[in-house]
Structure 1
Amino acid sequence: MPRWLIIAEETVTENGVVTHRQVTVVRPVSGNKSREQALVDLYTAARSHVPESLRSTTRVTGRDGDGSFWVLPKNAKGKTRASCNIRLIEQVRP
């Protein structure tokens, strides 16, 4: 069975230019799970994950067509924008 990781990719832009980009492992998916079972864990993680760049603002979370999730500011105002894409990836072992 494959092993899965839930990752978060945060991007902060200022005046349309990316000023900060960070990819982190939110958590590994425990147990031998199929992709469909791991997607349930992804849903749970996406609902509870608060990206560092969006801690001080009201957020909305939505599912994208590919099954990943976006955490976005509810009221994006000003020149600085932040977003976070949370998705499931297969861990490759050497």
Structure 2
Amino acid sequence: MPKYVIEREIEGAGKLSSYDLKGISQKSCNVLDELGSKVQWVHSYVTDNKIYCVYIAPDVLSVQKHADMGGFPANSISEVRSIIDPTTSE
């Protein structure tokens, strides 16, 4: 199944408390439960003003539906074409 990176512009994301992040995570998981097993949240990176999320889903529409149902911004949804790391150079 395809993997996607979602860019969510959230002003002050890096200053969110652990309580706030827990609430966001719980909301996301609740929406995922409603959607069934077709969409999987892998993990997210929180930066100063954005959250970058990695999802596995059958298509971009499923990822957008998760964002819509959760009330999360999805400013950009990009399909991952390849994954590289330092071992790629070997």
Task: Name whichever structure is richer in strand by fraction.
Answer: 1
Higher relative contact order (CA 8 A, sep 6+): 2
Answer whether TM exceeds 0.5 for this pair. Answer: no
With normalisation by structure 2, the TM-score equals: 0.32
Task: Name whichever structure is richer in helix by fraction.
Answer: 2
